[in-house]
């Protein structure tokens, strides 16, 4: 779920004031469940050695009593035991304040629809596969679970400061597209990567994108793209360190300081960057040529 875009400005008919709706698990068709199972099998085979140890450990919470799309009630019961989180269904993207309020209260909002068979590799709106397979394993990690709560609280603050675009970039480059340095090497933890077959390979193996050491201010200055693979990834040393630096830093002065600085392009490398890969950007250049 993307933190900075939304489509409606009030809950649609049938949704509560917090925008949640019943998942209505019984309404999924056999075809819907088969799509989940197909995507699950494909990614579960690809990700050992690529996804972070935390994400791989968390995948176990998705192994429920029945195959197919997880039943959110059963999933929430499991997650609740691990880290106190729940998964609630929403019709699609929700307003920012609603999204942050759910996070701050340990509720992860997930789309309840699943992509069609002709959209296995690409779709714009987050569906249940992205939201649940991509995000939920990390919610079973106690440190990351706390990070998302703090992020939700920070989101409510950012709204007051009018600095949501800055905070949204932090979400994008950590929760959605983050990489982490582990004992075995670089690993994926971002949900947008783990839920994509192509990007799971590209983010780690391709010489095109930059891979840069995570720096809070740097990330909050950096634009991102929503239409294709990222041109830069930011690498955290550990989840403990990500939590520590974001919780210990008061973002208000940072937001003020950033207002005086220009944004950085998606492919920029600047003084002070800890560059792990200086990307060739060949992939993006070829896509531009078409």
Residues that bind ligand PHE (CB under 6 A): 150-151, 154, 157, 170, 246-247, 249-251
- Nearest approach, Cβ of residue 2 and Fe ion (Å): 6
Nearer to Fe ion, 23 or 191 (CB): 191
Q: With respect to ligand PHE, which residue has the nearer C-beta, 64 or 104?
A: 104
d(CA 187, CA 51) in angstroms, rounded, equals 5
- Cβ closest to ligand PHE, residue 40 vs residue 151: 151
> Closest separation between CB of residue 40 and Fe ion, Å?
17
- When CB distances are held under 5 to 8 angstroms depending on the partner's kind, the choice from Fe ion, ligand PHE, none that residue 1 binds is Fe ion
**Nearest approach, Cβ of residue 219 and ligand PHE (Å):** 11
Q: Which does residue 150 bind out of Fe ion, ligand PHE, none, counting CB within 5 to 8 angstroms by kind?
A: ligand PHE
Of 11 and 152, nearer to ligand PHE (C-beta) is 152
CB of 169 to Fe ion, least distance (A): 14
Residue 216, phi-psi category: left (phi > 0), alpha (psi -120 to 50), beta (remainder)? alpha
DSSP string covering 99-146: HHHHHHTTEEEEE-----GGGSS--SS--HIIIIIIIHHHHTSHHHHH
CB of 191 to Fe ion, least distance (A): 5
When CB distances to ligand PHE are compared, the closest residue is 154
Rounded to 10 deg, the angle between the 96-104 and 142-161 helix axes is 140
DSSP E strand boundaries for the chain: 86-90, 107-111, 179-182, 185-188, 210-213, 232-236, 275-277
Contact 286, 227 (CB under 8 A): no
The residues near 226 (Cβ < 8 Å, ≥ 6 apart) are 2, 124
Nearer Cβ to Fe ion, position 222 or 279? 222
């Amino acid at each position: 779920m993307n933190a900075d875009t939304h489509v409606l400005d009030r809950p649609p008919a049938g949704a509560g004031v917090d925008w949640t709706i019943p998942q209505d698990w019984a309404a999924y068709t056999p075809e819907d469940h088969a799509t989940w199972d197909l995507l699950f099998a494909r990614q579960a085979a690809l990700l050992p050695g690529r996804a972070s140890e935390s994400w791989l450990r968390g995948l176990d919470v998705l192994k429920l009593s029945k195959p197919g799309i997880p039943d959110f009630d059963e999933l929430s019961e499991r997650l609740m035991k691990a880290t106190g989180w729940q998964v609630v269904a929403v019709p699609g993207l929700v307003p920012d304040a609603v999204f942050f309020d759910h996070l701050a209260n340990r509720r992860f909002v997930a789309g309840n629809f699943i992509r069609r068979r002709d959209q296995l590799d690409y779709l714009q709106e987050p569906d249940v596969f992205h939201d649940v397979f991509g995000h939920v394993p990390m919610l079973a990690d106690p440190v990351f679970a706390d990070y998302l709560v703090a992020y939700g609280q920070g989101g409510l603050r950012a709204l007051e400061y009018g600095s949501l675009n800055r905070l949204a970039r932090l979400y994008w480059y950590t929760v959605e597209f983050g990489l982490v340095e582990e004992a075995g090497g670089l690993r994926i933890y971002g949900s947008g990567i783990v839920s994509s077959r192509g990007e799971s390979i590209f983010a780690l193996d391709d010489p095109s994108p930059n891979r840069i050491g995570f720096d809070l201010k740097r990330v909050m200055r950096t634009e991102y793209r929503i239409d294709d693979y990222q041109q830069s990834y930011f690498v955290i040393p550990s989840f403990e360190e990500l939590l520590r630096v974001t919780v210990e830093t008061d973002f208000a002065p940072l937001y003020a300081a950033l207002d005086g600085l220009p944004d950085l392009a998606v492919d920029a490398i600047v003084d002070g960057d800890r560059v792990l890969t200086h990307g060739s950007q060949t992939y993006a250049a070829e896509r531009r040529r078409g």
